[in-house]
Chain A
Amino acid sequence: MKNTSEQLLSFAENELMKKESIRRAVLREAAQKQKQPIVWTKILLPIAACLVLALGTVFLIPSARAEVLSWFGVSRPADYLTADPSERADVPELDSLIASPAANEDVVTIPIDRTDSEAVNSEGALKVSAFLHENCDVELGEAMFDGNTLYQTIRLNGLSGLYLLEHWTGSRTTGVPVDPYAVWGLYEGGPGEEYLSGEKTLYEMPESWIMYEMPDGKRFGGMIDLTSSIEGHLDRLHDLGLLVENKTEEQMQAIDAENRAYLAENGLMAAAQIFPHDYEQYLDADGNLTAKVYYVVSVIEEDRGDGSYVPDTELYNAQIGTITVNMKAYQNVESTAVKANAPVVWGAETVAVSKIDIDFGDPDDRYEDDRVSLYKQRVSTEGLTMTADTEGAEFSTLGIKNIRIRINVPESWTREDREALADSLTFKVLLNGESGDWFANPYNCKAEDDGTVVYELSEIENVPYEMMGSIKTIAFVPVIRSVDTMDVYHQYDNGTKKNPLGTMNPEYGVTEWSAPGVNSWNYESTTTEFPQYAVTLNVH
Chain B
Amino acid sequence: MNDVTETFNTVYDATFRELMRYCLLKATIEDAHDLLQNTYAKFYRTLARKGTSAIRDPKAYLFMTLKHEISSFYRFRAKRKELPIEAVSDEPDDVSVEELSLDHAAIDDILERLREEPESTQRMFILYYGYGMKLGDIARETGTTATGVKSRLARVRKKLRTTFGEENAL
Contacts and interface: CB of A to CB of B under 8 A. Distances in A.
A71 B55 contact: yes
Interface in A110-155: none
27 contacts: A1-B97, A1-B98, A5-B132, A7-B111, A11-B111, A11-B130, A12-B126, A16-B29, A17-B23, A22-B40, A30-B48, A34-B1, A67-B54, A70-B46, A185-B21, A219-B76, A221-B76, A225-B68, A244-B56, A245-B56, A245-B57, A301-B141, A303-B134, A491-B6, A493-B9, A493-B13, A495-B6
Nearest to B4: A30
B78 interface: no
Interface string A505-540: 000000000000000101010000000000000000
B56 A73 contact: no
A398 to B, nearest CB: 19
Contacts of A495: 6, 9-10
B133 A185 contact: yes
A15 B137 contact: no
A221 B125 CA distance: 31
A167 B60 contact: yes
Nearest to A493: B13
Interface of B: 1-2, 4-6, 8-10, 12-14, 16-18, 20-21, 23-24, 29, 32-33, 36-37, 40-42, 44-46, 48-50, 54-57, 60-61, 64-65, 67-68, 71-72, 75-76, 97-98, 100, 102, 107, 111, 114-115, 119, 122-123, 125-127, 129-134, 136-137, 140-141
Interface string A258-282: 0000000000000001010100000
A29 B2 contact: no
Interface string A175-216: 000000000111110000000000000000001010000000
Nearest to B50: A67
B49 A70 contact: yes
What class of interface size applies to chain A in its complex with B? 35 or more
Nearest to A275: B72
Given A12-B20, A13-B17, A309-B134, A26 B44 contact: yes
Nearest to B56: A243
Contacts of B16: 13, 17, 19
Contacts of B141: 301
A8 B126 contact: yes
Given A22-B40, A70-B50, A17 B57 contact: no
A347 interface: no
A227 B64 CA distance: 13
Contacts of B48: 30, 34
Given A1-B98, A4-B107, A16-B122, 14 more contacts: A4-B97, A9-B131, A17-B20, A17-B32, A22-B36, A25-B37, A29-B44, A37-B1, A67-B49, A73-B68, A168-B57, A243-B57, A303-B134, A495-B10
Among the interface residues A8, A27, A303, which one has the most CB atoms of the partner chain B within 10 A?
A: A8
B9 A491 contact: yes
* Chain B residues touching A, majority SS: helix
A313 interface: yes
Nearest to B96: A1
A233 interface: no
B121 to A, nearest CB: 12
Contacts of A184: 131-132
Contacts of B75: 220, 275, 277
Contacts of A13: 16-17, 20
Which residue, A7, A25, A62, A207, has most C-beta atoms of chain B within 10 A? A7
A223 interface: yes
A454 to B, nearest CB: 24
Contacts of A303: 133-134, 136-137
Return the 4 tightest CB-CB contacts between A and B, nearest first.
A185-B131, A37-B1, A8-B130, A243-B56
A378 interface: no
A184 B123 CA distance: 17
Contacts of A225: 64, 68
B140 A313 contact: yes
Contacts of B97: 1, 4-5
Interface string A12-41: 110111110111011101100110010000
Nearest to B5: A522
A223 B71 contact: yes
